[in-house]
Amino acid sequence: MSNNFAPAVDLSVMDPLIAEELKRDVSECGLAQANSVAYVAAVDIADKGVFTGLLMNIQTCAGVGGTGSGRVWIDGVNIGGCILYYTKKGDSSSNHFNHRFETSLKVEVNISVANDVVNARAPYTTDA
């Protein structure tokens, strides 16, 4: 008699998840630095893949602070974005996404106070 118990697992449920993970072959990271209210592109590509995040940190803050903004378009549709309220150099935000794009990805950042500087990273993967 054995005391081992192996529950039955329906692997077909995992197939779509495994297939999605296998598609994510090439990791990329868009970079941008904004020092004005004009938006600067961190990523602007025509491809397929998954957008995974937007990280922003303040490199320079000469005054009392302001806001750094990020906005995201997936397949030509604005899905929103994020805002970083800052008061000093080093303030940062980490915003996680898990959005599939089929035709295009565009990520832009700006800063509300001229001459303050926000650095942005926008990691994503493209399909194999």
Residue-wise pLDDT for 81-98, tens only, equals: 899 999 999 999 999 998
- CATH number, domain of 64, equals 2.60.120.1390
CA distances to 81, 99, 109 from 44, rounded to whole Å, are: 15, 15, 12
Query: What is the residue-averaged pLDDT of the chain?
Result: 86
**Is residue 93 a part of any domain in this protein?**
yes
Structural domain tally of the chain?
Answer: 1
**Is residue 78 a part of any domain in this protein?**
yes
Q: Judge whether residue 18 has pLDDT over 70.
A: no
Q: Judge whether residue 5 has pLDDT over 90.
A: no
Determine the structural domain holding residue 33 and report its residue range.
26-127
Q: Which residue has the higher pLDDT, 13 or 104?
A: 104
**Is residue 98 a part of any domain in this protein?**
yes
Q: Taking the complete model, does pTM exceed 0.75, yes or no?
A: yes
**Is residue 70 a part of any domain in this protein?**
yes
Q: Rounded CA gap, 77 and 75, in Å? A: 6
